Structure 1
Amino acid sequence: MFAVYLVITLLASAIIGLAAVANLVGHDYPKRQADSMGVPRSWMLPLGLLLGAGSLGLLAGFALPVLGTLAAAGLVLYFIGAFAVHLRARDHHFGPWAAFSSLAVAALAVNLAYHGPW
């Protein structure tokens, strides 16, 4: 079970961390997505920081399991909010959202399965 927990947590942390970096450095893709969803570009930094905190929190969960659980739960909530923004903008292209949210849900699931609820 540890191998599954390790691989999924590292994968989720890496992919979500890359998304955080894309937001923080001002890459064109997150800017275009924000524009098409009606999200102000001034939110890109705070959203990138949230993604970065979640990514680092997943890694911190190796030392303090409760941090990993909270980070994974926070990322799931983040992507539920992203889904709501997609629906509000009447955007039905859920491919990237599904990939990122699936990683967050998988990280939460393996974290809970390996460590227990608390």
Structure 2
Amino acid sequence: MFIATLVVSVAFAALLVVSAIGKLHRSPAQVATLDRVGALKIAPVLAALELAGALGLLAGLLWWPLGVAAGTGLVLYFLGAIGAHLRVRDRMILPPTVLLIVSLAAVALRLASAA
């Protein structure tokens, strides 16, 4: 089970870092999405949260409670992202929904491999 946890955590952390870099470098696609949902002003905060989540997932491979905490934080982050889309009636919720599912999987795998 730990191998699955390792693969999901590392791949998800890499994706989060790429997303955070896009926010910090103001990637046109991310700027358009953030502007559409009214979150452009807090893009650096969102990037910091993604980087913290990525670091927590990786550190959580060494100490499982940190991995669970990071994964739980990412679940909340992506629930907030879905909420932000729904608040402005933007139906482009598939990407944050997929990432929410990955977050839930990361938590479940980390809990399953903790023993």
TM-score by length of 2: 0.92
Q: How many residues align?
A: 115
Q: Residues 32-57 of structure 1: CA distance to partner in whole angstroms, max 9, x if unpaired?
A: 01111122x22000000000100111
For 1:109 and 1:11, the matched residues in 2 are separated by 16
Q: Secondary structure at the match of 2:91?
A: coil
Match of 1:17 in 2: 17
User: Identical aligned pairs, as a percentage?
Assistant: 36
Deviation at 1:13, TM superposition (A): 1.0
Match of 1:84 in 2: 83
Question: Letter of the aligned partner of 2:109 in structure 1?
Answer: V
8 Å CA contact 1:2–1:114 kept in 2: the answer is yes
- The reply to whether residue 32 of structure 1 matches residue 15 of structure 2 is no
Match of 2:2 in 1: 2
Match of 1:106 in 2: 105
Question: Letter of the aligned partner of 2:32 in structure 1?
Answer: R
Pairwise CA RMSD of aligned residues? 1.2
Match of 2:57 in 1: 58
For 2:18 and 2:104, the matched residues in 1 are separated by 17
Unmatched tracts of structure 1, length 5 or more: none
